[in-house]
Amino acid sequence: MTDQLGNVSTSRTGHKPATDNTAVPSSRLPIRAKLSARIRPFPVVVLTLLWVLLVGQITLGNVLAGILLAVAVMALLPLPPLPSTIGRIRIVALLALLGEVAISLVTSSFAVAKLAIGTQPPPKTAIITCDYPVSDDIVAAFGILLMNLQPGGTVIFFDQTHHTVTMHLLNAGSDAAIRTQQQVTVRFAHKLCRIFQIPPVTPATPHTA
């Protein structure tokens, strides 16, 4: 109750009447609010671009069809939210890392081509395990994607518990080559942690070659 001055009255016990602060369940939100939460401009642009690249022709009809398909996919097939600890992304450092990956892609391609057309015997291959101290799953997946773009080595397993990756190494002719790859992987992981401002972790178990 309120008095003539508009002040909220209290009960005889001196407590204010309770107010209902219960949050509205997501199932009771209006449809418009649900759609606005699901459909974001950037994913729509990305999906539209992928559709146009898939079709192979840049036309107004293909662009409109890509937009409609992107909106339909995001509205009807929403993905669950992923927990992430990513901080503020360092754009300059990220661009520098992508530049390093591009240069490495060219040099690795020439190295693999030299092994393929050379007269020397085929190199010794190996399955090795490398420390990969990245704590965030999204950043870890992004880094593995970049590593798998490089010829000469492929990540075939990511151990989330021990923070290691298992790789197939094309040129593993010596222990020094294996140690070099393991050191390169650790340095790459620390660069990712600095770019996305996440704390690196210590692997639970030592890696073995």
Per-residue pLDDT, averaged over 70-96, amounts to 82
- Under a CB-based contact definition with an 8 Å cutoff, are residues 82 and 141 in contact? no
With H, G, I as helix, E, B as strand and everything else as coil, classify residue 190.
helix
Least confident window among 1-15, 78-92, 153-167: 1-15
With H, G, I as helix, E, B as strand and everything else as coil, classify residue 191.
helix
- Least Cα distance to 43 among 62, 66, 59, 26 occurs for 66
Res 140 pLDDT > 60: yes
Domain boundaries, the chain: 1-81, 91-196
Average pLDDT, the chain: 80
Give the H or E element holding residue 115. helix 91-117
Rounded-to-integer distance, Cα 182 and Cα 119, Å: 28
Cα atoms found within 13 Å of the Cα of residue 113, Cβ hemisphere only: 6
Give the CA radius of gyration of the chain. Answer: 27
* 67: confidence class by pLDDT, cuts 50, 70, 90: very high
Residue type for 35, please?
L
Rounded-to-integer distance, Cα 61 and Cα 97, Å: 37
In terms of C-beta density within 10 A (0-12 exposed, 13-18 middle, 19 or more buried), how is residue 67 classed?
middle
How far, CA to CA in Å, does 147 sit from each of 69, 105, 113, 125, 166?
A: 31, 10, 18, 17, 12
Res 34 pLDDT > 80: no
Q: pTM of the entire structure?
A: 0.62
pLDDT tens readout for residues 151-202: 888 999 999 889 999 999 988 878 888 999 999 999 999 999 999 988 888 7
pLDDT score for 75: 83
